[in-house]
Every structure is written in structure tokens, then in C-alpha cells.
């Protein structure tokens, strides 16, 4: 579909001939342009979305680890405090 649009056919023409609607076809063309680095309109490529997803998973895991370590440090700090014994 993308190649047909690039060869001069409109998404509306293709929508009449094939199943997807014109908006879907236009979206595919924009996404293909982003993937090829030809789009200046922003948006993310598939590789950028995958990387963002990986960063979000890693960030979530690191937050969990930080919370666990903070709780463990608090527990050990509480466990090490003297319990009413005097050294005099």
C-alpha cells in the first residue's frame, strides 16, 4: 500500500479498491516515512518505541529494587539500635 501511495495513487483511491480505510493507509505511509527517516513531523520509529518500552521496564525494575533496598536498610538500622542496654 505504501509503495502504491508513493507511486502516485491516493489513499482514498486505494481505500475504495482494497479493504483498509484511507486514514489507515495514510498512517502507514507516515510511519514508513518515519522509519526511513524522511519525516520531519516527529513521531517515533518502531526502534524508538521498542527502546522506550525497554527503558520503562528497566525504570520500573530499578524503582522496585530501590524500594526493597530502602526497606532492608531501615530494617537493619532498626535491628542494630541498642535496646535499652547501658555500657556504664
The per-residue pLDDT for range 9-67, each reduced to its tens digit, is 888 888 888 888 889 888 888 888 887 876 566 677 788 889 999 999 999 999 999 99
For residues 86 and 83, which has the higher predicted lDDT (pLDDT)?
Answer: 83
Q: What is the pLDDT of residue 47?
A: 85
Q: Which residues contact 39 (CB under 8 A, 6 or more apart)?
A: 30, 33
For residues 22 and 14, the answer to whether their CB atoms sit within 8 Å is yes
CA-CA-CA-CA torsion sign (19, 24, 26, 31):
negative
Q: What is the pTM of this model?
A: 0.48
Kindly list the domain boundaries of the chain, sorted by start residue: 1-43, 45-79
Which cell is 74 given? 531501615
Mean pLDDT of 65-86: 83
**pLDDT exceeds 80 at position 2:** yes
Amino acid at each position: 500500500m505504501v509503495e502504491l501511495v508513493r507511486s502516485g495513487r491516493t489513499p482514498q483511491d486505494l481505500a475504495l479498491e482494497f479493504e483498509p480505510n484511507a486514514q489507515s493507509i495514510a498512517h502507514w505511509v507516515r510511519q514508513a516515512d518515519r522509519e526511513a527517516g524522511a519525516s520531519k513531523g516527529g513521531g517515533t520509529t518502531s526502534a524508538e518505541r521498542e527502546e522506550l518500552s525497554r527503558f520503562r521496564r528497566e525504570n520500573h525494575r530499578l524503582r522496585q529494587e530501590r524500594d526493597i533496598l530502602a526497606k532492608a536498610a531501615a530494617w537493619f538500622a532498626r535491628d542494630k539500635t541498642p535496646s535499652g542496654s547501658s555500657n556504664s
